[in-house]
Amino acid sequence: MKPYLEKILSENGLNIEEMKSASRVLFSDDVSEGEMGAFLATLNFKGETAEEITGLVEVIKEKAVPIPCSVPHVMDNCGTGGDQSHSFNISSTAAFVLAGAGIKVAKHGNRSVSSKTGSADVLEILGVSLSFPAEKIEELLDQIGIAFLFAPNVHPALKKMMKIRKDLRIPTIFNLIGPLTNPIELETQLLGIYRRDMLETMAEVLHRLGRKRALVINGAGYLDEASLSGENHFALLDQGDIHTFTLSPEDVGLPTYTNEEIRGGDAKKNSEILLSVLNGEQSPYRDTVLLNAGLGIYANGAANNIEEGIQLAKESIDSKAALNKLNTLIEVSRKLTQEVI
């Protein structure tokens, strides 16, 4: 680690190949906890670059459980967490709306880390199995149009990082990369981030990782989701070009709510909110999902503009297509798990 630490301490960033080499050392058995902590803290102090984030993500994907998948045009919608808003599980709810609109969704997620309830916690309460074999992911995407990739099952190498991150008690590069490490080769992505200063950097990383189109969000109140409480900030990646813009609820014909009105609770409470939205109940939760799902449909390229995306999201909910995707995923994931047992 010494040469990499020295270069970072001299305030020179690592290029992709250097970061890949450093990351392989980071995950090896030859590095001490002290070196690991120093590396992560020093990167945080300097500020992570697009090349450094890309290099680490590529190594994490190298070490992931292989998931064969030939399904085309797959996307993910996932946030970094870390915004401390305690909102309900917006992206998890929106994922079923995206699937109901005909988009293939490989939803990558975990249990709670920085929030009260992670996507895995909510889906487990609803009855989605987290333990079906990785080789069945392709079957789920092909037959249902949505699959959940439980991060610990596909990234066992990351387990050794947990103690170091907890001991450091500061944000590190690992607080940024969760949505980037989906082992499926995604074509498009909707990515929420709690740091507004990193919008264009994350869009550049997505480009380096091969995304053809993606939308990076920092919401009003610095949420890692789009919010109906005010102005949202975006970076749009489209065929290698990156454009920034802002959007407020009134721009797309949606009402305004405070972020406190979309607070969630424990896994049971958040699962009830998710079901209420997919069952068509009118609420701030539904309107927030309409905005985020509409943005996801637009990021995917299935809508020409955000307003059209929101309309397609409404149709997905009101036709019960989104709810049917959830119910089918529950049924099939349980069946696949039982076959293994």
**Binding site feature residues for 5-phospho-alpha-D-ribose 1-diphosphate:** 79, 82-83, 87, 89-92, 107-115, 119
* Numbered residues of the known binding site for Mg(2+): 91, 224-225
41-49 long-range Cβ contacts below 8 angstroms, 24+ apart: 41/168, 41/170, 41/172, 42/5, 42/8, 42/9, 43/8, 43/172, 43/173, 44/170, 44/171, 44/172, 44/173, 46/8, 46/11, 46/13, 48/173, 48/176, 48/201, 49/13, 49/14, 49/201
Q: CA separation (Å) from 321 to 13, 195, 252, 254, 331?
A: 47, 33, 23, 22, 15
Q: How far is 316 from 301, CA to CA, in rounded Å?
A: 16
Per the annotation, where are the binding residues for anthranilate? 79, 110, 165
Question: Would you list which residues are annotated within the binding site?
Answer: 79, 82-83, 87, 89-92, 107-115, 119, 165, 224-225
| Interatomic CA distance for residues 199 and 216, integer angstroms | 6
Q: Give CA torsion, residues 104, 73, 203, 13, to 10 deg.
A: 110
